[in-house]
Amino acid sequence: MATPIDYAKLRLACVATFPPRRCGIATFSYDLCNAISAELALPGNCQVVAINDNPEGYRYNERVCFDIQEQDLSEYTRAADFLNIRGVSVMLLQHEFGIYGGADGSHVLTIMRETRMPILTTLHTILADPSDRQREVFEKVAQLSDRLIVMSHRSVDILLDVYGVPRAKIALIPHGIPDLPFVDPSFYKEPFGVHGRKVMLTFGLLSAGKGIEYAIEALPEIVRQHPELVYIVLGATHPNVKKQDGEAYRNRLHQRAEDLGVLEHVIFENRYVELDELCEFLCATDIYLTPYLGKEQIVSGTLAYALGAGNAAISTPYAYAEEMLAEGRGRLVPFRDSAAIARETCWMLDHELEMQAIRKQAYLFTRDMIWSSVARHYLQLCTEVLTERDRHPKPLPKRSGDSSVLRRAMPELKLDYLLAMTDNTGMLQHARYTIADRNHGYCTDDNARALIVALQAYQLKKAPEFLRLIHTYMSFLVHAYNPQTGRFRNFMSYDRRWLEETGSQDSHARALWGLGYAVALGPTSSVRAAAMNLCETALKETVTFDAPRSWAFTLVGIHAYLRRFSGDNVTRQIRETLALKLFDLFEQHASEDWPWPEKSLTYANGKLPHALLLGGQWMQRGDLIDMGLRSLEWLLRVQTGRDGVFSPVGNRGWYPRDGQKAMFDQQPIEAHALLDACLEAHNVTRDPRWVREARRCFNWFLGKNDLGEPLYDYQTGACLDGLSAEGVNQNGGAESTLAWLLSLLALKSLRPTLEETATSATGSLPE
């Protein structure tokens, strides 16, 4: 069961043209992003990657976080990297062949392939009769998109019939419109100097395909019957048209109106108007006219806006107009037919009541198209695709020479990052990327595990810096113990203030885990003595605990302690008490199909069978060993993904009994816990398959996982914080890096005979 999307954490990126660039998609993107931000009440959570059509670019507002020169393919790759690093949740891509570089806009495929997040692609053009190259590009766009958003039923039909897109991949969301009141146009005409006149309007960027010459040729007949009519042509010439032909088309229209003697009935507003002023024009309009020439046009923002303002519309029968003006919401005229335009216009002006009915039908029909409603549909779709991505991750791109190629050599022990995350107080909890984040301070959990790493590293190499680390982490644990409560505190701020008097049972148990190793591996008698005395003081509290993981962490620490002082009778008794508590919990709740003591698999699950195997081995209890092996085999089975890779349970919902296992976010703590358990299973059974299973868990860190991406950073020595559906979490916190180092040290501690067994099974270690 997926966790609901937290909109406060939702980060969207719209890839599109954007104002002040002048084109219809730029206007659409501007309105869509504003509407989504308003719904989220978080303006910064919907940003834009803008596509430029000139080398100088544009003076964008703060919503644009990155811009791309449309013909520079390398910039699409850089933009993909930028969005991945920014942790964008969903990409909202606006698709039109002409706004991206490459043959038929093929450059857009690069950013689609190389980003990690789900992609919602809004289709502004869908060709029913594409060229071979157009079909090839479009089919790849469809394949790389998690959803294709269309704005008309006709578009759905084309996707199904022409391109064979699965219906489940198509979402119909109407073109958005501003939320305007239904008004009497006569109240809005005076500012435009048309008071007392009937207004017919066409707006949008001017180009020859708009068919405005046919509207002008209809004017002589219209003004003969209705001399009060004025035709407003609102909009600047399209920049691409102006660049190539200047104002030739507009000049021809002007000359034609003059030749026909209707120039005084035409107002050419040669400018790009902002939304507020556009709405005023629409409110002053009686009849809206779209005499477009292209039949296959599947969407028209201008027509959508006009109907949303309650204009009576007359249009040529292009695909979108046929759908929008059906059932009496407007009138259709044949293409290139001036006489029909004149006839329908005069009919409307002659039939005021019927025209008002058309206006009302159009207005009511568009109430679900206002931008706030459209934004909610987009956000609902974001929730759907993020939930799906959790269950079915997108394979990430592989680039030539990429570090994501699985290394075959066992990595060397590298403690550079551990040193960088540690100051003279202890190890810091969190990082932003691989830079220590002091804002979150320290915790006992991490310093206890860091102590184990430092102790084992010192065993391998007697380096002075490792000895300093041991003393730092030991000092932290000594200070963490609160004698007033008999418990360890866990969280400490960066200014060395404890944030609680008593930590969790798990943090207390992890402290004992680290102290047990300090007793076993302490390099000096003072370290061993300090650890032993603290263990003796803190251990007795654990028999009152009720959390099974706290029992398990404590048992692992006790086992290490008893390796040095096996005759400590009190500690042995505590081991027996905790091991039997854990075993009894399994006995009470485990079943044939769910051999587990809890109703849900959560975190560090491998530590429970690990503790059973330790207890059963040293207490000579075969039933504990059998339960440990049985639950361990089950854990491995339910956490095996495609191609046999280790696929740990995700923390976005975990794995409830009788429910669905969450795939993400996968965390390093689970890989380490299960690896340790597998190695202990080998110690008990001597079966080499357990070493192979441990290697499978280890290789998860190196890229043998559901995404094929490594979490270990060979350059810094950090381990990143886990796998999400969108890719690797780029932060390298303490817990993740310690899980990696403990896993690496565990494999390096294998006796040579075991390493030979593992290597001969499938090649090098790791494979």
Residue 725 pLDDT > 50: yes
Same domain, 349 and 381: no
- Residue 759: the pLDDT is 43
- Residue 456: the pLDDT is 95
* pLDDT tens figures, 227-267: 999 999 998 888 888 888 888 999 999 999 999 999 999 99
Same domain, 478 and 346: no
- Residue 395: the pLDDT is 59
Same domain, 347 and 443: no
Same domain, 326 and 426: no
* pLDDT tens figures, 323-335: 999 999 999 999 9
Residue predicted with more confidence, 9 or 200: 200
Residue 767 CA to residue 674 CA, distance in Å, equals 18
Residue 707 CA to residue 394 CA, distance in Å, equals 7
* pLDDT tens figures, 565-585: 888 899 999 999 999 999 999
SS3 214: helix
Same domain, 85 and 207: no
Burial-class residue 509 by CB neighbours within 10 Å (0-12, 13-18, 19+): buried
**Buried residues in 551-564 as b, exposed as e (16+ CB within 10 A):** bbbbbbbbbbbbee
Report the 10 Å Cβ neighbour count for 537: 12
* pLDDT tens figures, 84-101: 878 899 999 999 999 999
Residue 4 pLDDT > 70: no
In a domain, 77, yes or no: yes
CB distance 568 to 520 below 8 Å: no
Q: In terms of residue numbers, what domain contains 154?
A: 7-176+372-391
357's tokens: 């009915």
In a domain, 250, yes or no: yes
In a domain, 407, yes or no: no
- Residue 112: the pLDDT is 96
Average pLDDT over residues 654-660: 92
Q: How confident is the model at residue 727 (pLDDT cuts 50, 70, 90)?
A: confident
Same domain, 386 and 502: no
Residues of the chain with pLDDT > 90, as a percent, come to: 78
- Residue 396: the pLDDT is 55
In a domain, 409, yes or no: no
In a domain, 54, yes or no: yes
Same domain, 160 and 190: no
* pLDDT tens figures, 53-73: 988 889 999 999 999 999 999
Q: Whole-number mean pLDDT of the chain?
A: 91
Residue 376 CA to residue 372 CA, distance in Å, equals 6
Residue 757 pLDDT > 70: no
Angle (CA) 120 124 127, round 5°: 110
Tell me how far CA of residue 346 lies from CA of 200, 203, 268, in angstroms. Answer: 11, 20, 22
SS3 444: helix
216's tokens: 């002008």
Helices (H), 115-225: 132-144, 153-161, 212-225
* pLDDT tens figures, 476-502: 999 999 999 999 999 999 999 999 999
The interaxial angle of helices 569-589 and 607-619, nearest 10 deg, is 120
For residue 380, the one-letter residue type is Q
For residue 527, the one-letter residue type is V
For residue 66, the one-letter residue type is F
- Residue 411: the pLDDT is 86
Q: How confident is the model at residue 5 (pLDDT cuts 50, 70, 90)?
A: low
Residue 297 CA to residue 287 CA, distance in Å, equals 21
- For CA atoms 734, 735, 740, 744, give the dihedral sign: positive
Q: How confident is the model at residue 209 (pLDDT cuts 50, 70, 90)?
A: confident
Residue 185 pLDDT > 80: yes
CB distance 510 to 489 below 8 Å: no
CATH of the domain at 386: 3.40.50.2000
* Closest-CA residue to 104 (of 128, 137, 140): 137
For residue 269, the one-letter residue type is E
Residue predicted with more confidence, 305 or 9: 305
* Closest-CA residue to 444 (of 536, 514, 521): 514
Q: How confident is the model at residue 399 (pLDDT cuts 50, 70, 90)?
A: very low
- Residue 754: the pLDDT is 44
The size of the chain, in residues, is 767
Residue 723, strand partner residues: 666, 728
Residue 283 pLDDT > 50: yes
- Residue 402: the pLDDT is 41
Residue 329 CA to residue 518 CA, distance in Å, equals 81
Residue 559 CA to residue 278 CA, distance in Å, equals 77
Residue 272 pLDDT > 90: no
Q: How confident is the model at residue 23 (pLDDT cuts 50, 70, 90)?
A: confident
- Residue 758: the pLDDT is 42
* Closest-CA residue to 424 (of 478, 479, 482, 468): 468
Same domain, 358 and 381: no
Longest dimension (CA), the chain: 114
- Residue 408: the pLDDT is 46
Beta-carbon contacts of 71 under 8 Å, excluding residues fewer than 6 positions away, are 101, 102, 107
Examine the fold and report which residue of 391, 426, 461 is the final residue of a domain before the chain moves on. Answer: 391
Report the 10 Å Cβ neighbour count for 694: 27
Contacts made by residues 62-69, CB under 8 angstroms, sequence distance 24+: 63/18, 63/33, 64/18, 65/13, 68/111, 69/101
Same domain, 171 and 301: no
Residue 124 CA to residue 300 CA, distance in Å, equals 9
Q: What CA dihedral angle connects 165, 169, 170 and 176, to 10 degrees?
A: -140
Residue predicted with more confidence, 23 or 134: 134
In a domain, 533, yes or no: yes
Q: What is the Cα 216 distance to its own chain's centre?
A: 50
* Closest-CA residue to 289 (of 382, 218, 189): 218
* Closest-CA residue to 729 (of 720, 737, 738): 720
In a domain, 402, yes or no: no
CATH of the domain at 661: 1.50.10.10
* pLDDT tens figures, 499-516: 999 999 999 999 999 999
Residue 406 pLDDT > 70: no
- Residue 257: the pLDDT is 94
Rounded to 5 degrees, φ, ψ at 409 are -85, 145
Residue 767 pLDDT > 80: no
Residue predicted with more confidence, 6 or 71: 71
In a domain, 398, yes or no: no
Same domain, 583 and 559: yes
Same domain, 461 and 579: yes
Same domain, 435 and 584: yes
* pLDDT tens figures, 425-440: 999 999 998 999 999 9
Beta-carbon contacts of 215 under 8 Å, excluding residues fewer than 6 positions away, are 200, 202, 231, 289, 291, 338, 341
Structural domain total, the chain: 3
